[in-house]
Structure 1
Amino acid sequence: MRHLRGNLATTVVTVLVLAVLGVVAGYVWSALAPATRYVLVDGTPHLADPETQSLIEADGWFAAVTGGFGLVCAVAGYVLSRHRPVEVLVGLAAGGLLAGYVAMLVGGTAKGVVQAAGPGGYTTTTSLDLTAYGVLFAWPLVATTVFWVIEFAVTYNQRAR
C-alpha cells in the first residue's frame, strides 16, 4: 500500500506542477501571439480583416510555447525521476494535457479590450482563442517523446559499455 501511495503521489505532484506551469505558459502565449481585430456590429463580432492570418499565428505560437514547456518539463522530469520514471511519464502525459488546457484558458483571458468606437461599430481586439484544438497535444506529445528519447539514449549507452 505504501508503494502505491508513493507512485500516486509522484504522478499527482507532476500533474500539479505542470498545471501551475500552464498558467505561466498561458501568459507567455498571450504576450507572443498576435491579437485578432474584430468589429462589433450589433453585438456580433466580425473580422476587421477577413484575410488575417492572426488566428493561425495564435495556434502556431501556442504550439511553440507549449512544446517548449514540454521539452523543458521532459528534461527536468527525467533528471528528477531516477526511481519512478513510469510515474513521472504518466504525470507528464496527464499534466501536459491539463497544462495545455490551463494555458489556453489563461492566455485566452489575458488580452481583449475595446479600442475605438466608429460608425461601423466598435473596433475591438479579442482575447486569444485556438482554432486548431490539436495544438493542445503539443505539450504532452513533446514531453513524453523527449522523455523516451532521453531514456533510450541513456539505456543504449549503458548497454554498449
Structure 2
Amino acid sequence: MTAPLSPHDQQPPNPPAPDTDGGGAQERPPLGGELRDGAIAAAALAVCGLVLGLLWVWLAPRIPLISDGSAVYLKNSEGEQAIGADGWFALMGLGFGVLTAAAVFWWRRAGGVAVVVGLAVGAVLGSVIAWRLGVALGPTQNVVAHAKAVGPNKVFYAPLELRAKGALLAWPVAAMATFLALTSGFGPRDPEPTPHWDGWSAGSGETPEQR
C-alpha cells in the first residue's frame, strides 16, 4: 500500500523563471514610443529623397534639343534618353527601398504597425521629393526661352521629366517587400507555451486512491 499524498505533495513544482534576456529579441515599445519611431522613420526617408533627387539629376541621361530660330526639334529623333530618365529613377528607387528598409529593420527589429506605416509614408514622400527636386535642379522648364538664349543651331537640353509616374512607387514597394522579408526571416519570435503539469505521473495514470 502506498500512503496517500498530502495536499503539500500534490502541489505542482515551481514554474520556470521567465526568460529575462528576451532571447536576444527586441521588445516592442509602448504605443507612444511606437508612434514616435514611425514618425522618425518617415522623416528620415523623406530626407533620403533629397539624396535620390541629386543622384537622379547627376545620372539621368539628358535629351538634346536644337532650334532653327523658329521651332525646337529633337537633335536625335531616335534617342531613348527620355525612357532612360524614368528607368534610372525606378532603379534607384528600388535600391533606396532595399537599403532604407534594411536600415529601419536594423534600428527597430520589433517592428510594429506605426513603424511599417512610417516606412511606407516616408518612402512615398521621399520619391515625390526626389522627383520634384530633380525637375527643379535640371534644365529649365521654359524650353522656348532656353532656345532663344542659346541661339539657333545650338544644342541644349530638355527639362528633366518623369513621364512614367509609376516609377514613384518603386521605392515604397521595394521597402515594403524588403521589410516583410526581413521580419519573416529574422524578426523576433513569440515565446513557446510552457507545458502544463497536471500533478500526476504521466506514466502511471493512477490517482492516489487507486494505488
- TM bin, normalised by shorter chain, reads 0.7 to 0.9
Normalising by the residue count of structure 1, what TM-score does the alignment of the two structures yield? 0.83
Q: Is the strand fraction higher in 1 or 2? A: 1
Aligned twin of 2:125: 98
SS of match in other structure, 1:118: coil
Q: Where does structure 2 lack aligned partners over 5 or more consecutive residues?
A: 1-29, 141-145, 191-211
Alpha-carbon shift at residue 108 of structure 1 (Å): 1.6
Aligned twin of 1:118: 152
Letter paired with 1:135: A
Letter paired with 1:28: L
Q: Is the 8 A contact 2:68 2:152 kept in 1?
A: no
Q: Is the 8 A contact 1:35 1:54 kept in 2?
A: yes
1:132 to 146, 156, 164: 164
CA distance in 2, matches of 1:59, 1:136: 10
Q: Where does structure 1 lack aligned partners over 5 or more consecutive residues?
A: none
Structure showing greater radius of gyration is: 2
Q: Once superposed, what is the RMSD of the aligned Cα atoms?
A: 2.7
Q: Is the helix fraction higher in 1 or 2? A: 1
Aligned twin of 1:51: 78
CA distance in 1, matches of 2:184, 2:37: 22
Aligned residues: 155
Alpha-carbon shift at residue 112 of structure 1 (Å): 1.4
Per the alignment, do residues 18 and 36 of structure 1 end up closer, same or farther by CA in structure 2, a change over 3 Å counting? Answer: same
Letter paired with 2:168: L
Letter paired with 2:125: L
Per the alignment, do residues 101 and 83 of structure 1 end up closer, same or farther by CA in structure 2, a change over 3 Å counting? Answer: same
Per the alignment, do residues 40 and 13 of structure 1 end up closer, same or farther by CA in structure 2, a change over 3 Å counting? Answer: farther
Alpha-carbon shift at residue 72 of structure 1 (Å): 0.6
Q: Is the 8 A contact 1:109 1:127 kept in 2?
A: no
Aligned twin of 2:113: 86
Alpha-carbon shift at residue 9 of structure 1 (Å): 1.9
Alpha-carbon shift at residue 84 of structure 1 (Å): 3.9
1:28-57 per-residue CA deviation (whole Å, 9 max, x = no partner) reads 111111011223577875433222100100
CA distance in 1, matches of 2:128, 2:78: 28
CA distance in 2, matches of 1:138, 1:35: 22
Letter paired with 1:125: Y
CA distance in 2, matches of 1:150, 1:42: 57
CA distance in 2, matches of 1:80, 1:29: 27
Aligned twin of 1:31: 58
Per the alignment, do residues 18 and 40 of structure 1 end up closer, same or farther by CA in structure 2, a change over 3 Å counting? Answer: farther
Q: Does residue 147 in structure 1 map to residue 174 in structure 2?
A: no
Alpha-carbon shift at residue 82 of structure 1 (Å): 2.7
